[in-house]
Amino acid sequence: AIKHFQAWSRRLSESLAYKLFLKYMRKLLTPVTKLVGWGSQGSHLERLLRTDVLSTAILCELNETVFQAKSQFEKWMHRNQSIPADLKEVVYSAGVKYGGLGEWQHCWNVYNSTIVPSERKLFLKALGVASDPWLLQRYLLETLHPNRIKPQDVKIVLTVVAANPEGRLLAWRHLKAYWPNMQSLFGNATFMMGSLISAVTAHLSTPYDYYEVSTYFNGMNVGSATRALEQSLETIKLNINWVSQNEEDIYTWLLNYLK
Global confidence as pTM: 0.94
Q: Residue 84 region, left (φ>0) first, then alpha (ψ -120 to 50), else beta? A: beta
What is the sign, positive or negative, of the torsion defined by CA atoms of 237, 240, 244, 245? positive
C-beta contacts of 107-114 below 8 A and 24+ residues apart:
112/148
The secondary structure of residue 143, as a DSSP letter, is: T
Domains identified in the chain and CATH numbers? 2-257 (1.25.50.20)
Give, for all 259 residues of the chain, the pLDDT tens digit: 788 889 999 999 999 999 999 999 999 999 999 999 998 888 999 999 999 999 999 999 999 999 999 999 999 999 999 999 999 999 999 999 999 999 999 999 999 999 999 999 999 999 999 999 999 999 999 999 999 999 999 999 999 999 999 999 999 999 999 999 999 999 876 789 999 999 999 999 999 999 999 999 999 989 899 999 999 999 999 999 999 999 999 999 999 999 8
Phi, psi of 66 (to 5 degrees): -60, -45
Phi, psi of 125 (to 5 degrees): -70, -45
